[in-house]
Amino acid sequence: MKLAELDEVVAFLATYGQFDRLNEIALAVAPTPHTGNAAIYEPVREIIHTAAYFADRRVDATTLRALDPSVFVPADFTRPPGYLRGGQLRGMLEMPADEAVKYDVLPASYHAGRIATDLLVLASISVCGGSSTWTPERIDAQVKKNIAGVHAVPGYAPPTS
């Protein structure tokens, strides 16, 4: 499996509260060396940031300690202001109706995946300190909204037992 594909798996694990599995994946990819190619390393970073975000919300100090050395790799890593303002978010749930109708022909898996993978961006914005646009409260509210949005996609409701 490619790291970029693992992003979506991680997003769904977070969506369904499978934090032990999410943490296992994050800890497995954390030792991946940063070779200077940010595009290749970005999926690793998103996975680590997602695990750290949800560990922080669950007050999981053990996971946070284990991930800490890998949260900012390289050590001088920062997100650009546009990213922190949400420039990478797909915003499927906020899309105007006239634009959203264009996506109606696509399968439910497309919609669920696009909504879920915004969780990785939101987590990374949070881990990197947020912005005046994306405050911790707004990020947490949007995370909850996206999780509910995935669950509302036909076939993606959480298990009942």
The per-residue DSSP string of 18-38 comes to -HHHHHHHHHHHTT----S-H
Taken in order 124, 32, 41, 36, the sign of the CA dihedral is positive
60 conformational bin, left if phi > 0, alpha if psi -120 to 50, beta if neither: beta
Helices (H) and strands (E) in the chain, counts: 8, 0
Evaluate whether residue 86 is within a structural domain: no
Distance CA 11, CA 25 (A): 12
Tell whether 13 is covered by a domain: yes
pLDDT at 91: 87
Going 107 to 93 to 99 to 122, the CA torsion angle's sign is: negative
Counting the structural domains of the chain, the total is: 1
Residues sharing a CB contact under 8 Å with residue 50, sequence separation 6 or more, in sequence order:
10, 11, 14, 22, 26, 119, 120, 123, 124
Count of other CB atoms within 10 angstroms of residue 101: 10
Helix (H, G, I), strand (E, B) or coil at 156: coil
pLDDT at 10: 97
pLDDT-derived band of residue 5, with 50, 70 and 90 as boundaries? Answer: confident
Residues in the chain: 161
- Residue 159 belongs to some domain of the structure: no
- pLDDT category at 139 given cuts 50, 70, 90 is very high
Query: Which residue carries 């995946």 as its tokens?
Result: 113
Write out the two tokens for 75: 């050590």
Residue 127 lies in a domain: yes
Domain span at residue 75 reads 3-81+95-152
Q: What is the pLDDT of residues 94-136, one digit of tens each?
A: 888 898 888 889 999 999 999 999 999 999 999 998 889 999 9
pLDDT digits (tens, 9 = 90+) for 28-65: 999 988 888 877 788 999 999 999 999 999 999 999 99
Question: 23 falls in which pLDDT band (50, 70, 90)?
Answer: very high
Averaged pLDDT for residues 10-35: 95
Domain annotation covers residue 41: yes
